[in-house]
Amino acid sequence: MSIFQNLSTKCIRQSFVTCKFASRFSTQSKFQDTDQSHQTHFGYETVDENEKSEKVHEVFEKVASSYDKMNDAMSFGVHRIWKHLFMQRLNPPHGTELLDVAGGSGDIAFRFLEYLKNQENPDNVPSHVTVCDINEAMLNVGINRAKKLGYTDENQINWLLGDAEKLPIESDSFSAYTISFGIRNVTRIEKALDEAYRVLKPGGRFMCLEFSQVNNELLRQMYDSYSFTVIPVMGQIIAGQWKPYQYLVESIRKFPDQETFKKMIEDAGFRSVTYENLTFGVVAIHSGFKL
């Protein structure tokens, strides 16, 4: 029996959120919208918006089992440093109610719990993280990792099958929202940002860690050469998958640059929006507040 068959009633037991699973999460139609379909990109390919959702879902179904191994190989382990810095910049206090979207592997959630474990908490103020992902295979990766790490207390962490563009969560529910290497895969980035704003409490913080644009011309040429010639081959050798990693490389190039994405975050209603480049702009951390 799938672990998600029971999630509609118990995935979030805390009073600040009511789970509202709709039928869209149970069949292939879960990726389709009643709105008229428009064209978008899937890497360098032009597809219908509904088709992109299905294609991205298929990509992560294929790579879920080798996700961690490939992250280490592609970045030479640097992704761990990026995520460590991401959590340092979030600097969550005890009492934080975090929603980590597109976080099925648990990478950010576990860092959040470890970060708080290392902070003094004399009043035993509880904190909590909900990991949300549209892909059941990725959530299973995270759930299995959580068991190995001993994070099985539902008062600390739970898992939610949901779409970043249509979060099954009540408004004004969380004090922080994170999304790491996930927002470029959503079909309509604007809708995901609107949803992030909706589910955050007033004063809540949005933070995104995502691949971005290298501005130095020489470094960009070297980075592009490595990305297009090495990463898909590495995917074939390590994970037995070429096309998903070809899509990965292409999707990075189609994602808005730092300033454009900053403007999109502001357009969603966030204030005090800033960004910080890491590794010459290979990735960037964007931050904003619901004020």
Residue with tokens 């995270």, as numbered in its chain: 142
- Nearest of 51, 65, 63, 53 to residue 25 by alpha carbon: 53
Strand ordering across the sheet containing 271-278: 157-161, 128-133, 97-101, 174-180, 200-211, 283-289, 271-278
Q: Strands 200-211 and 97-101: what pairing? A: unpaired
Q: Mind spelling out the 3-state secondary structure of 161-219?
A: ECECCECCCCCCCEEEEEEECCHHHCCCHHHHHHHHHHHEEEEEEEEEEEECCCCCHHH
Q: Is 163 annotated as a binding residue?
A: yes
What contacts 7, CB < 8 A, 6 or more positions away? 19, 21, 159, 160, 161
* Number of residues assigned to the chain: 291
The token pair at 259 is 């300033």
β-pair partners for 97: 128
The token pair at 236 is 């074939």
- 8 Å CB contact between 273 and 290: no
Residue 273 zone, left/alpha/beta (φ > 0; ψ -120 to 50; rest):
beta
Q: Is 133 annotated as a binding residue?
A: yes
Q: Is 105 annotated as a binding residue?
A: yes
The token pair at 74 is 């592609």
DSSP state of 255: S
- Residues of each annotated binding site for S-adenosyl-L-methionine: 105, 133, 163-164, 180
Known binding-site residues equal: 105, 133, 163-164, 180
